[in-house]
Structure 1
């Protein structure tokens, strides 16, 4: 996607301008047509600064024609550039005024457009593919584009989510990835070898590099510190934007060292919950250290749990091997409610079941 997607976004923005300029010009004349262009430019800048995942409370962009006012000065802030909105915006409604001189005035709440200007062209984003252009007398729904949340923003994080889900089917489910397959003690895929996370991290890193290669200048980097002491497993940075993804990998199941009857490590469901809480801390640290970045956290759980496994288990029956296949994990609601925390991805690893074990 990358450059190709950027061209698509440019084309869709131009299409939106052409599609609505006639209607808006009939109502507001040439000043309305110019305000429409200014509105769409500002809309693009805001969507570049803030991901659609953090705009679910709503976004309004207003370009006044003629005079305007700035209500609630106690709440408003003025910015020279839309990128300054990234660290300032919280998960609240956002209203942005294009003041014509290139600066932007913003409020962390929904402001009635008529309190800003009597004559205007405005834009509203109310959620996934819910966009419209508004004038004093008209409302025009913006035509959705493909599976983009917004016609005016590049869905970097949506692409990453799809890549992680694809990784589960292509690489994890039956250990089709040569790198990931080294994490298992044997080809039966019953228990892991000690410290299997190094293979998981390397495997996912390779998959993401291949899956996101169509993006311009994407960096997929393992074991990156969010501050001086805390490393996250994988950091993805789309260098042509301010988007950053922090990926934490946690595995569930047991690992054994050859010749030892007790597992070297055993991680139940609680390990994934700890991972979610840990990633939330990492995100807080990252936001503090790099407020100009639009960072989002992704917990990836590699689930290799089996029932009734011992060190000498060379095979497993279907009932025990697939016991945890649909055992979804309940995470702390306050973590899942974070606008910068993506729904965790649980990737179940299937064991090899021999015909004898199914009898």
Structure 2
């Protein structure tokens, strides 16, 4: 293992110190760990979090027009309830706090604990669970689809809405709408190396890829032979555009009753009607030049299917340490979602219109 680190047990803290040094508008708390940015008065506070190793998700998206705070766990490990509680206390300005939770078992359990305790304190809190990965319905880490790079769509669009004055209930409803209209699919060419493990998390032969990989290296649909980029991307697009009906069941916090409610929804129909935003996301170890090669192939595959892509975003946004590979996320957007996507944003990892 070759890593630019000092000691394994100080990796996350030292990286937080570096982030704070580079972006003085961010405020950092080390015990418990969370990062935040002062929110506009009377705006809903938006808090996300998860295991470290996926940077810039989530701390890189704190700032005007996006997140208010983030709770980084250890590498590939959920943050703890005390991190979430202290972060929510710090950022709440009376308009309420909305948690974005990726659909992993540890994240769900810890965020749910935090939500219940904050409710007892009288803090108005809501939740949006993100499950955009269509590669699997279940994995060792989840009950249902995993939350992956499509998280960026939710954080950006709801971030713009909060800045425009949407209340907590409206932000929560919007977050679920974006999640339901988002699909992601990932491919790994080589595994990542977690510092605490000191070796790659899985092995692939020189001619193998993991088709449908998760952002922690979880398996997807199958291992298959490496193909040229056009053929590979066409297979990914086929997965993303598959409209086989699938019922999803997710829990959310009911602020009025102070309890958890299960809601079911079917997948949003993806077809050649409407407009799409596409995210070509690097997993950490893929050159940007190759990601643009993927973008070319995605654009061509979309044109062949009559799909109208109106916005592209290419780069490393939801990584898996040094994993070689990519993911593609599609958001079927309405005029309102597109307007919120285009709204100004100013964060360390995403900036436009400012």
| Fold similarity call, TM over 0.5 | no
Higher relative strand content: 2
RCO higher in structure (CA 8 A, sep ≥6): 2
Considering fraction of residues, name the structure with more helix.
1
Largest Rg, 1 or 2: 1
